[in-house]
Structure 1
Amino acid sequence: MSAVDAMIDTGQDVGPLLCCITHRMLLIPVESGTAGLWGAAHSACSSGSALQCVMHGYQPPCRNRFWVAPPGPLAAPTSAPAVLHETLSLMRARMRFARRPLSARAREVCHV
Structure 2
Amino acid sequence: MLSPAQTELSWRIQFAARPLPPLGAVDVVQAGLRVGLRAVEGVREQGLRTGPVLCCLVHSLVHIPVEADTAYRWHAPQTLCRPGAWECSTDKQRSRYSRCAGVWLLPADMNHGSTDSDALFHRLSMTRSAGARNWGVRHGS
Task: Tell whether the structures are fold-level matches, with TM greater than 0.5.
Answer: yes
Task: Give 3-state SS (helix, strand or coil) of 1:26's partner.
Answer: strand
- Larger gyration radius, structure 1 or structure 2: 1
- Give the drift of 1:31: 0.7
- In the TM superposition, structure 1's runs of 4+ consecutive aligned residues that sit over 6 Å from their partners are none
More strand by share: 2
Q: Which residue of 2 aligns with 1:32?
A: 68
Kindly provide the amino acid, as one letter, of the partner of residue 83 in structure 1: A
Which residue does the alignment assign to 2:87? 52
Tell me the TM-score normalized by structure 1: 0.75
Are positions 1:66 and 2:89 aligned together? no
Question: Any stretches of 5+ residues in structure 2 without a counterpart?
Answer: 1-36
Return closer, same or farther for 1:62/1:39 CA change in 2, 3 Å cut-off.
farther
| Aligned length, in residue pairs | 100
Shift of 1:16: 1.1
Decide whether the 8 Å contact of 1:15 with 1:29 is kept in 2.
yes
More helix by share: 1
CA distance in 1, matches of 2:87, 2:103: 13
Gaps of 5+ in 1: 103-112
Normalising to structure 2: TM-score of the pair?
A: 0.61
Supply the distance in 1 between the matched residues of 2:131 and 2:101 (Cα, whole angstroms).
Answer: 26
Q: 1:77 aligns with which of 100, 107, 113?
A: 113
**Percent identity of paired positions between Structure 1 and Structure 2:** 26
